[in-house]
Chains A and B, each alone.
Chain A
Amino acid sequence: MDFILEPLNLVTFFPLVGVLVLLFLKKDQKDAARWTALVASLVTFAISLWVLSQFKASETGLQMEVNATWFTFGAWEIKYALGVDGLSILLLLLTTFLTPISILSTWTAVEDRVRDFMLFFLLLEVGMVGVFLAQDLFLFYVFWEFTLVPMYFLIGIWGGAERMYAAIKFFLYTMAGSILMLLAILWLGNNQGTFYVPALIEQGGIPENLQTWLFFAFAAAFAIKVPMWPLHSWLPDAHVQAPTAGSVILAGVLLKMGTYGFLRFNIPLFPEAAKEWAWLMALLAVIGILYGAAVSYWQKDVKKLVAYSSVSHLGFVMLGLFALNPQGIEGAILQMVNHGLSTGALFLLIGVIYERRHTREFSEFGGLWKVMPVYAVVTLIVSLSSMGLPGLNGFVGEFTILLGAWGAGQEGLLGNNGVLYAGFAAAGVILAAVYILYMFGTMFLGPLTNEKNENLKDLNWREVVTLVPLLVLIFWIGLYPKPFFDLMAPTVEHLVATLGM
């Protein structure tokens, strides 16, 4: 019993309670299903806040660790090990925070098979939280792969016209990557004799050339998930086809699993390879930033634009991570959260207009500010945060990342004149302004041309409720990010120290 009541066990598996309840509901009890899911996810969020209250920011190691032997096989011991530290606490909160919001956003959007939808959604939450908490490679892989299944259905059943294609593509691409990781995991298990991540980091001692191989085996899985250029091709399909809530979670959390993977495994496990190949990662990241920004600018579909903008934003995150210095990494972690908030909010907003007009074509809109002022203002704020306007969350992340990247470049980590990486990335900030303003301008400014839009309803209370928390955080992080940095700073600095940078 005590074991079950371990905070991390609770926060991971509590949604299953909701799942159980859902299983006993009838197909047509839609509201019951909605409320069950909402309550379950809210309680989970509460638990995660409890975890936060227990969390000691000053410590660098794992906290509240749950560590039991799952089973042994031959020479191995496979552990059931959960733990939270500065690297994961924020992402844990982000997950538990976004889930209820997404659920709330589907209140009227999803009418078909509500129960199943909620069921998959809660399962998805279990998987995501597990990914961020698992400290044993085997366990991690289990959660990692498990998240595929519910997302597959969320896209495939409640998605758009091309949903099956998108769902399969999503499933196969991510699985293709993770399977190489599986081999690497097995290799580690064989040659290092354990799957327990802290132990692996502790003993280290993987020869350089092998590190490179393993590094890329892991990177394959994570880079596809992130997605890093040029492995991003599944993203637009998945996003455009997924239902609003799906997009929110996909952009908000699932993509972070990739970057988190780099941070949690690639860098500490294979420090030599990480240093050796940082330039490559940074290069791809920068290409992603510019490429994503440029491509977004030409989209005809709002959701696609945001999808591509994710490629650009996560490029920043990757750049920060592989700056391998405190500024870069902390900025990256914060930027993961920021992207979760901003892009999540953007998808929510797109969902709002889509629910009203059932189209996302730019050509259909224009001058919406006139009819939906509140909606317009909220969108403006979120867009600005996503293009990194100072005073909003996006800026803090991007600035620290660029600062870190520049430093890394200057200290020669990224090869000679490595500062160029930061330079070009910063240029991405300009392009971000270009496509964001293009989006905002074409949708909200200019005269109200399309008469279909003339009597659109502005945000209703439920939509406001879903958005306000996001806005609060957007401002909070933008104006006073210190508490967020304090949560991760010691861990990150310790990590950097162990890298010997």
Chain B
Amino acid sequence: MVSIEYYIGLSAILFIIGTMGVLTRRNAIIIFMSIELMLNAANLLFVAFARMFEALGGQIFVFFVMTVAAAEVAVGLALIVAVFRTKQTINIDEASTLKG
């Protein structure tokens, strides 16, 4: 079996990529996907640790994270759609009227 450090390292990379997505992309949907990627990185971590501790707590946590993610997606996409209705774009930079 591969030792756990590898998994942690991998999840770290994925997490970073996710953050990069959030920080660099202007497409709201892609930003959102990147966030999902971050969550996944965390999940990977949980599962790995669960395996390490041989306790199911971690896996359960992942389960809940998924549901949360689902909920967020529902809301998030709804919002994006709504914004698109008014602005005709999902370019997040367009949503910058509130400032100061």
Q: Are chains A and B touching in the complex at the 8 Å CB cutoff?
A: no
